[in-house]
Structure 1
Amino acid sequence: MHEDYVVRVVVEGTQVLGYVASSTRLVERARRLHRTTPVATAALGRALTLVGILGLTMKENQRISLQIECRGPLEGILVQGNAKGEVRGYVSQPWVILPSKEQGKLNVEDAVGAGSKLLVVKDLGFGEPYVGSITMPRGGIAYDLAYYFASSEQLPSACSAGVYVGKRGKVLSAGGFIIHTPSGTPLDVIDTLEENISRLGPVSHELFQGKTPEDITAFIFSGLPYRIVGKDPLRYRCRCSRRRAKNVLLLLGEKERQELFETQGKAEVHCAFCNRTYLFFPEDFAQGRQ
């Protein structure tokens, strides 16, 4: 299994930027953490792959989130990424089962639901975060993100993400790409990219067959003077800790915390991103104890 990483690409003489990712390991880790069914794995994996790419476009100490308020049975998806290539996320209903589409393709579109709401939240590290949103025309996530870029940021883009799940539920391959073609991009460049992308198979299948992000990049940008300008690792990493969990209980206030201990004898803080539960007892909050 290849390491997860993103290849960053520019097309000489233009403002075209491309990002091609492999994300198999991190999506499989998410599947194991959340015990997702295949269709939930595919939906969460697509979102994690895309937010991983977007996170690498942020500056240090900034992060970006994709939040989907699903009309379908998944109910909700939340994923986050940062400039270090660290991603985390979860799906509200990880045990959803839906009939597959033609040729056994997982039905992510119905699991998410056309008409769902996609929110893109950029925490730039100062003041209120920037929030953009759209009503998702399809529910497949990648196409909807491209629609968001075009309608909300006036940035024409091609987006793709896929997850290949084996018969036993394991993630066999996952990856995707985002290509930005800003206003003013020469039409012949756009035509070449569109033609190449139309001939490219699903990214997850290309990766499963042994292709690398560099191989896929070469195919997408064939016929163009492209240059790879960077290669960044991706990984699933949750930032929760016992100290942060304790701070959550401290924010409750002493009265509320005491009532919790009197009724239950303990307090639990559960992290939705990694499924870890932190247990606390009254003595953990004794005077002077860290």
Structure 2
Amino acid sequence: MKDYIVRGTAANDEVRFFAAYTKGVVEEARQRHNTSPVATAALGRLLTAGAMMGSMCKNDSDILTLQIQCSGPIGGLTVTADSKANVKGYVNHPDVMLPPSKEGKLDVGKAVDLGVLTVIKDIGLKEPYSGQTHLVSGEIAEDLTYYFATSEQIPTSVALGVLMNKDNTVRHAGGFIIQLMPFATEETISALEQKIAQFQSVTSCLDAGHTPEEMMEQLLGDMDMKVYGTMPTRFHCNCSKERVEQAVISVGRKEIQSMIDEGKPIEVNCHFCNTNYEYTVDDLKRMLKEAAH
């Protein structure tokens, strides 16, 4: 199954949903950052949420950033997505190892622990919109559910899952975001709550071979569910040697001069995709001239 996001409505437009399959996105992130299983699960969940939330953006130029600052050994995570569901991200400590939780699962909650979730939406205004909530569990899906309820006042159910193979590659990844519209009736709300309470998990659903549409069918199938469209999602970083060069120039002439004085090439790493860019002393001299302008 290719990576994609499906969106639609149910219950006479009282409910809207986004559901995603993101195995390729998460596996690429795992390979690029060489993440441990628990770091892969944490980053994979946040990447999946980021892709879906990015696809909710209205304008092509909108950028969404999800940032978790936390006290757990993972140290923090950052994910950025655009309106075309191109998504990228990294964890501060990709090699964190922890024993499984008492349910025998990867202990994302323990890896993340307490902290703050910040959602930044850059929609072309002078100042980006920023909403912040405390983490309620560190499990990421619950934290986003809480964020939507408190920061955006939208009753929302977020479910995210990453399933690993024995060799620590990604077996399945995906999730959904279901939101109630302001005019949702009590009847719709309680029917949906019941369905969500009975739902097993994203990973068991995907592992049984179900598509995101079929996953939504389980939850919303008897509520007149309508699918409005699908869009591909992928791990994509827009860094380039030229863009990173601009970042080097921005550190200022004094810094660049001291790099030149060392007489060695420098290597600059992109956090998001872990690509290294090397600049020779001659490159640095050229940048010094550019920084003068």
After TM superposition, is the score higher than 0.5? Answer: yes
**Partner residue, 2:211:** 212
**Partner residue, 2:270:** 271
Q: In 1, are the aligned partners of 2:256 and 2:284 still within 8 Å (CA)?
A: no
Q: In the comparison of the two structures, how many residue pairs are matched?
A: 288
**Partner residue, 2:252:** 253
Identical aligned pairs, as a percentage? 38
**Partner residue, 2:60:** 60
Counterparts of 1:40-189 in structure 2 under 5 Å?
A: 40-58=39-57, 59-113=59-113, 115-189=114-188
Deviation at 1:261, TM superposition (A): 2.0
Equivalents in 1 of 2:26, 2:96: separation in Å? 17
Secondary structure of the residue that 2:250 maps to in structure 1?
Answer: helix
Equivalents in 2 of 1:149, 1:238: separation in Å? 26
Secondary structure of the residue that 1:87 maps to in structure 2?
Answer: strand
* Amino acid of the structure 2 residue aligned with 1:155: I
Secondary structure of the residue that 1:216 maps to in structure 2?
Answer: helix
List 4+ stretches of structure 1 deviating above 3 A: 285-290
* Amino acid of the structure 1 residue aligned with 2:252: G
Change (3 A) 1:101 1:15: same
Measured against aligned partners, the alpha-carbon deviations of 1:38-68 in whole angstroms (never above 9, x if no partner) come to 1111000000000100000112110111100
Q: In 1, are the aligned partners of 2:263 and 2:281 still within 8 Å (CA)?
A: no
Change (3 A) 1:185 1:30: same
Equivalents in 2 of 1:194, 1:167: separation in Å? 34
Deviation at 1:184, TM superposition (A): 2.6
Q: In 1, are the aligned partners of 2:260 and 2:285 still within 8 Å (CA)?
A: no
Change (3 A) 1:136 1:287: closer
Secondary structure of the residue that 2:2 maps to in structure 1?
Answer: coil
Measured against aligned partners, the alpha-carbon deviations of 1:103-162 in whole angstroms (never above 9, x if no partner) come to 42110001000x310000001123111111011111111111110111111110000001
Equivalents in 2 of 1:54, 1:183: separation in Å? 19
Measured against aligned partners, the alpha-carbon deviations of 1:71-114 in whole angstroms (never above 9, x if no partner) come to 1110110001111110000000011111101342110001000x
Q: In 2, are the aligned partners of 1:12 and 1:227 still within 8 Å (CA)?
A: no
TM-score (norm 1): 0.95
Give unpaired runs (5+ residues) of structure 2.
none
* Amino acid of the structure 2 residue aligned with 1:165: M
**Partner residue, 2:193:** 194
